[in-house]
Structure 1
Amino acid sequence: MNTLYVSDLDGTLLGDNAILSSFSKKILDELLHQGLQLTVASARSVISMQVMLKGLNLRLPVIEFNGAFISNLDSGRHEIINSICPSVVESIYKLILEFGCVPFVSSFNGTEDCAYYKDIINDGMLWYLNDRLTSKDRRWRAIEDLTLSFNDQIVCLTVIGHAQELLELQGAIIERYETSVETHLMENQYSPGWYWLTIHDRKATKAQAIRTLVENYGLQESEIVVFGDQINDIKMFKFANHAIGVANADAELKRYATLLIGSNIEDSVVKYIHQDWSNRYALKSDFDVG
């Protein structure tokens, strides 16, 4: 049986500096040349992934924005788009404003990805904007009226603030729109103390995206092995044959793990893939000879 490996990025495949180590890159490059079936599933955009995974020949599409997009890593072209219903976007936007917050709006305008912003009302938002502008992320656009972006296909609303205020906002969104959207609330590990609430379409989950890859790319007979560290990985942990949590994973996610390995700063994911792939490859070779 073939094996499909799917890894989260931040806190899992990447080190604490959000960089794929030279060791991990070298090993993955070798395994990919041998035929390893690997992709990544992240809350990040494909534009960020292109920088972090530069040089890796991922033949399978990547899962970005928690499943809102399934995209070709090299070209950035979206093969699947799971956007939020326009009327739901408008309603949730009004609710966000009622809570005294302002979102970042991520979208696809039919030609390119966009990330819109207006008022920057706290240091958590400022950190994110500066991080993206420093990285020369070409998606970012200042806009006088965020509702003008709603003509695009909206894939994510991101609200940054303190935990309690976002927990209350999340509760209100779930109460009114639970059947329409998927929400995640997590601390930004690179800017401690600031939390991110992300809102996606209900179909935009890592698990659903993996299911789509399996069905569309002839992987129905594959054993699925996933790696993660945060609560937005829970659904793909439930879906996979083997769910591998890193040592630094959220305690809630660890409840769904079939195995715990070392931390993200120890190249633990790639070491596991290398060993697992080597064992499976050797077993297959023995079977072929037999």
Structure 2
Amino acid sequence: MARLLATDVDGTLITTSHQISERTRAAFRAAKDAGIEVMAISGRQPYSIAAIVDGTALDGDAIGSNGAVAMNLDSRRVLFEETMELASQREIADRMLELFPGIKVVSVRSAGNSYMAEEGYTGLQGPGALETLWPVRHWFGPRHEVLAEPSLKLVLRDDDVAPDDLLAAARELAVPGCHATTSGAPFLEVGRDGVTKASALARYCEARGIDRSDVVVFGDNINDLEMLRWAGLGVAMANGEPEARAAADHVTLSNDDDGVAVVIEEILSRD
């Protein structure tokens, strides 16, 4: 019997119009009413997850920043955080910049509530521009200041280089202390080595006495690979990356066809 359902957000929980469908909302509510824990797990930060799942059964605990932070969205209490070592984040930034001089860097800090972007970075809209249920700080500064504090996640972006190419280069460099991934966003995401959605779920479940065999996860992208392989049942979306579909135990319908809801309804009908 499933004891925990954990879903990625973009490309999985929400449709291409960035909504949670009524069928998916109802499925998670039915699962929670049946005594199954439900949660969102994303490369997004908790503040952003909270704005998306507000008013749904998923508005309790959540995991953000690809597993680097867990938070209760109601109380905003941080359950755990994992930041990168300064030496590691500086080394990967410096070595990637040698390969791609156009890269700009962002440091995500303070449980995901603070973004410091390198001057010239594109894509960061500024304080208050992103939907959020609580204050979030976005600001710009010189590169040395961006790299001066430990990050939950380091974002590396070059508008002239595809994220897949950045990921391939980062994997080749294999900088100690770093784990690089992508999520479908137009940049590379780097966290602490060993910190993934799978490691966060393992930590979360151990504290609650939940066996991995009783965990069902849903995902669609490269940053979901570890948890798709780790969970008792890893479900990839039909619209997911080939690597995600290959890593999963099952492939459901697309995010626009309520693929997550279809699986939850089947689980509830069995349980």
Query: What's the TM-score once normalised by structure 1's chain length?
Result: 0.82
Cα distance per residue 1:30-64 (max 9 Å; x no partner): 33233222112110111011111001344863110
Q: Which residue of 2 aligns with 1:230?
A: 221
SS at match of 1:133: coil
Q: Is the 8 A contact 1:107 1:115 kept in 2?
A: yes
**Aligned-partner Cα distance in 2 for 1:108–1:54:** 21
The percentage of counterpart residues that share the same residue type is 22
SS at match of 2:247: coil
SS at match of 1:210: helix
In the TM superposition, what is the alpha-carbon distance from 1:103 to its structure 2 partner? 1.1
CA RMSD of aligned residues (A): 2.7
Q: Which residue of 1 aligns with 2:137?
A: 140
In the TM superposition, what is the alpha-carbon distance from 1:245 to its structure 2 partner? 1.3
1:112-123 to 2 correspondences below 5 Å: 113-121=113-121
Gaps of at least 5 residues in structure 2 are none
**Aligned-partner Cα distance in 1 for 2:126–2:257:** 28
Q: Which residue of 1 aligns with 2:70?
A: 70
**Equivalent in 251, 260, 266 of residue 260 of structure 1:** 251
**Aligned-partner Cα distance in 2 for 1:243–1:95:** 34
Q: Which residue of 2 aligns with 1:107?
A: 109
Gaps of at least 5 residues in structure 1 are 189-194, 281-290
1:15-164 to 2 correspondences below 5 Å: 15-58=15-58, 61-98=61-98, 99-100=100-101, 101-108=103-110, 113-121=113-121, 125-126=122-123, 128-129=124-125, 133-135=129-131, 138-162=135-159, 164=161
Q: Which residue of 2 aligns with 1:285?
A: none
Q: Is the 8 A contact 2:119 2:143 kept in 1?
A: no
In the TM superposition, what is the alpha-carbon distance from 1:248 to its structure 2 partner? 0.5
Question: Does 2:209 correspond to 1:213?
Answer: no
Structure of larger gyration radius:
1
In the alignment, residue 137 of structure 2 is paired with which amino acid? Answer: W
Cα 1:48–1:66 change in 2 (3 A) is same
Q: Which residue of 2 aligns with 1:180?
A: 177
SS at match of 1:129: coil
Number of equivalent positions: 268
In the TM superposition, what is the alpha-carbon distance from 1:68 to its structure 2 partner? 0.7
